[in-house]
Amino acid sequence: MESKTLQQIIGESPAIKHVLRTVKQVAPTNATVLIVGESGTGKELIARALHELSPRADRPFIAINCGAIAEGVLESELFGHERGAFTGAHALRKGKFELADQGTIFLDEIGEMDLSTQVRLLRVLEEQEFMRVGGSQNIQVDTRVIAATNRDLTHDAKTGVFRQDLYYRLKVVTIEVPPLRERRSDIPLLIDAFIKRFCAEHNTHFVGISDNAMDVLMEYDWPGNIRELRNFVESMVVLSPHQTVREADLPEYMRLPKVNAPPQTMLVPRESLLPQVSSNQAVDVQLQSLMPVLWLKGLLEKIATDISELKEIAHTIAQHTPPEYDKKEDLETLEVKLGMSLQEVEQEMIRRALEATNGHRRKAAELLDISERTLYRKIKEYGLDS
């Protein structure tokens, strides 16, 4: 049995070889697997490889990002709903578990799942059955569960943020995907693979990288991991055709990471993301115009997805504001600007909801489609209780 996805997991380091051995050992079983690792390390590739090497390979593989779906909506997405189960449920809808029957479901960012949905997930894992939202009949399924997280679920389970019983049920097998900085010897192999891929995709030729430049890339910590490296290589291929990339061509934050690296919790300033182009380089104007897009694509890929989801939630809040709330227009004008962190967007959304409900926290929680407990914690975290 072969896996095309497994062939995309490139590396010869002991760390990645251990991961690949574990994947091959666990894949043929029905064991639940928890994949842990930082964002951008390739956790979904591991999940797909587990599926492709399993007896379920010809059955559905369905992935769902638990962190990108609003609390309250996730249950319906996972377990489906009956007609009339709630306002807007005009027809029966099958959930992801039904659609993945006999196959595999991949629950990405499992640590973001709300506690009520965790209870229902635990039952599926224990009993292989569930009820649709608004339903009264149990539905039997045979679905393998693979979950992934970049959070410390051990800590979350101890503090009550994540159910301990579910945590222990998920970690029948745990696969830890190492960050790129812990497998630096794989960086040249990954760069070479990405160069070949993007030269073919963009129909261009790339000469190579000087030894000094490669040394810098080997020393850089790659906080965005393989996702950041992949998009960095794509920008090199597109912006430096028929050239050798030298150390001076690399951005300053890579060459002087200790001095210029931005805090990990903040968006990287736009100007620090642009490649440093020497005055003697004849870079085509059209290619120059692509620089911001190509460079930002890797580092902001996940942020862009999350912000898009937040904007959708903000629009939903505005559309469903009850008549007695007189600031519907204010909610609709929530503007997400490039450069805002997710925390800033979230804080602004909570502030707007509190204003729209005249400080009524229960109603604000309903508007935001989150629990009161979560709202109280966020209000305290952002200092909005004054």
pLDDT of 266 reads 36
pLDDT of 4 reads 86
SS (H, E, C) 273-324: HCCCCCCCCCCCHHHHHHHHHHHHHHHHHHHHHHHHHHHHHHHHHHHCCCCC
Do 68 and 120 reside in the same domain of the chain?
Answer: yes
Do 195 and 53 reside in the same domain of the chain?
Answer: no
Residue 214's domain spans which residues? 184-254
Dihedral angle sign, alpha carbons of residues 145, 150, 155, 159: negative
Which residue shows structure tokens 């049920």?
169
Which portions of the chain are predicted below pLDDT 70?
1-2, 84-87, 257-342, 386
Do 194 and 77 reside in the same domain of the chain?
Answer: no
Q: Is 242 exposed, middle or buried (0-12, 13-18, 19+ CB in 10 A)?
A: exposed
Do 159 and 245 reside in the same domain of the chain?
Answer: no
Identify whether 122 is part of a domain.
yes
Do 160 and 216 reside in the same domain of the chain?
Answer: no
Cα separation, 366 vs 320, in Å, equals 10
Cβ–Cβ < 8 Å for 295, 275: yes
Identify whether 331 is part of a domain.
no
Q: Residue 94's domain is classified under what CATH number?
A: 3.40.50.300
Give the end of a domain, one of 124, 154, 178.
178
Give the end of a domain, one of 254, 282, 303.
254
Do 172 and 28 reside in the same domain of the chain?
Answer: yes
pLDDT of 375 reads 83
Do 172 and 193 reside in the same domain of the chain?
Answer: no
pLDDT of 317 reads 52
Cα separation, 44 vs 46, in Å, equals 5
Identify whether 287 is part of a domain.
no
Give the end of a domain, one of 148, 178, 208.
178
Which value, to the nearest 10 degrees, does the dihedral of the CA atoms of residues 367, 373, 379, 380 take?
A: 180
Do 89 and 215 reside in the same domain of the chain?
Answer: no
Identify whether 152 is part of a domain.
yes
pLDDT of 157 reads 94
pLDDT of 335 reads 56
Sheet holding 104-108, edge to edge: 61-65, 104-108, 144-149, 33-36, 173-176
Cβ–Cβ < 8 Å for 116, 63: no
Cα separation, 190 vs 172, in Å, equals 31
pLDDT of 313 reads 54
The dihedral region occupied by 107, where left means phi > 0, alpha psi between -120 and 50, and beta the remainder, is beta
Q: How far is CA 97 from CA 74, 100, 136, 249, 357, in A?
A: 12, 5, 17, 49, 36
pLDDT of 147 reads 98
Which residue shows structure tokens 């149990």?
138
Do 247 and 356 reside in the same domain of the chain?
Answer: no
Cβ–Cβ < 8 Å for 37, 333: no
Cα separation, 56 vs 49, in Å, equals 11
Do 152 and 246 reside in the same domain of the chain?
Answer: no
pLDDT of 280 reads 40
Q: Residue 242's domain is classified under what CATH number?
A: 1.10.8.60
Q: Residue 364's domain is classified under what CATH number?
A: 1.10.10
Do 166 and 91 reside in the same domain of the chain?
Answer: yes
H helix runs in 53-174, sequence order: 74-79, 96-99, 115-127, 153-159, 164-170
Torsions phi, psi for 260 (to 5 deg)? -110, -5
Do 162 and 229 reside in the same domain of the chain?
Answer: no
Identify whether 286 is part of a domain.
no
H helix runs in 160-256, sequence order: 164-170, 187-202, 211-219, 225-239, 252-255
pTM: 0.67
